[in-house]
Every structure is written in structure tokens, then in C-alpha cells.
Amino acid sequence: MSTILDTFRLDGKVALVTGASSGLGVGFAKALADVGADVVLAARRTDRLADTKAAIEAMGRRALAVTTDVADPDQCTAAVEAAMAEFGRLDVLVNNAGIADSVPALRQDPDEFRKVMDVNLNGTYWMAQACARVMQPGSAIINIASILGITSVLMPQAGYSASKSAVIGLTRDLAQQWTPRKGIRVNALAPGYFESEMTGEFAEGVLESRVVPRTLFGRLGNAGELDSALVFLASDASSYMSGLTIPVDGGMLTN
């Protein structure tokens, strides 16, 4: 007899995670494997995918590492083709690849702004397109947006904030197009500030002075605290949800 917990399982399914070479992407890949999925690991830094691949295989799941720059539509298509050749199906996409900027708007180089948009927004779109072409009804796409797509924390991140706001809008539109016609659910997570490679690039003391006081918990998030929300959106536990963005922000939006 099936239980509510069974709806969170991904046994027999295949997930593709972009940006899987470090940070939150590694945790996402392991979380999906933990609930039964085989995982395709996509990132530019292929050498760093080896450890993630080994960890997933040690959990008893299959893993495939594919060098992928999501800003290139052809590489997104190639990653999906590799997944289909290896596993014969693709059920979940986690659009996690992203880069940040932290430059005052009047000093930002145009190429730097374009690069952030090209990876965070365009790359999300190209990979979603490539996956949706092969996904079957019941599949799920989870776009990793950001709380900065909804609010601000008085730090100069124009490119990042703009790209993540756009990802939220993109999520709504793709859900409107693909859920009725293809049966693909498209949702987004909006993380607050978590301990990761990206947040480690901020100057010392910035997060403690500007971000932590905005949270209700008085701390940054731990990477694992996003995993359960991700599994929820990837699994049948969220079978009646599409077009939504779920903040996991430590209460920043209420403070």
C-alpha cells in the first residue's frame, strides 16, 4: 500500500542537474539520488563533476557527467541527447547553473551584465527547451531563481537580480504553455542566502551585516535545507502545482 512518503520517491526516474560541479548543485544531485533518481550531471567544469558522480554511484544510483555550457543552446541539446542515449528517458530538470555579479550599476561593464543574463536567464531557457522536447507527461522542471528576484538586500547585484526576476516570469510562462499541452510541471525555487561557493565570494562581514539581520533565524541557510523543497517540486508530491515560485529564504520576505 502506497503512503504519502511514497509520492516523494523518484525511483526509476532520471534527473538532469545543471551547475552540478559545486555548491547547491552538488547537494541537489545527491538529494535526487537519495530518493531514487539516476542523475545526469551538467556543468562547464567537467573535472569537478567526477566527485559528484562518484558520490551518487556510491549511493547505488547511476550517474552521467556531461560537459555543458548552458549559455550555448547546442550544448544544452547535446546534454539532453546524451541523457537519452544513456538512460532512455528524462523526467526532472533542475536548472541550477548560475553566476553572480556584485558591481555598482554605474561601473558595470556591459559584457559582464550580458554574461550574467546569458547564463542565468538564457541558459535556463535553452535547457528547459531542450528537456521539454523529450519529456513525457508527469515530468517536472525546477528553475532555481533567487529571493533577489523578489526583494533586495541593499547590495549592488543588478544583473543577478534582473536575471532572477526574469527566471520567475519565465517559469510562469513555460508552465502556462507546457502544463496544459505537455503535462510538464514548471516551478521555481527562490533561495535566500545559503552557505555556498557563490556566497563565499562576498567581502568579509557583508552577509553578517546586511543579510543575516533580515532573516528570522538570524543565520544563513544550510545547503541541505533547500533539498527537501527541491525533492517536493521534482516528485509527485507536488503533482497539482505549476507556475509557482517557492521562497526558501529564512523569512526574509516577512522581515
Distance CA 76, CA 16 (A): 11
Q: Which of 125, 160, 193, 240 is catalytic?
A: 160
What are the backbone angles phi and psi of residue 171, rounded to the nearest 5°?
-60, -45
Dist. CA 121–CA 71, nearest whole Å? 9
Helical residues (DSSP H) of 147-189, grouped into ranges: 158-182
| Phi, psi angle pair for 153, to nearest 5° | -130, 30
Q: At what angle do helices 73-87 and 123-132 cross, to 10 degrees?
A: 40
The answer to whether 134 touches 88, Cβ cutoff 8 Å, is no
Rounded to 5, what percent of the chain is helix, strand, coil?
50, 15, 35
Angle between helices 23-34 and 49-58 (to 10 degrees): 20
193 noted as active-site residue? no
Give the residue among 24, 51, 79, 65 at the shortest CA–CA distance from 220.
Answer: 24
DSSP character at residue 178: H
Q: Which residues are catalytic?
A: 160
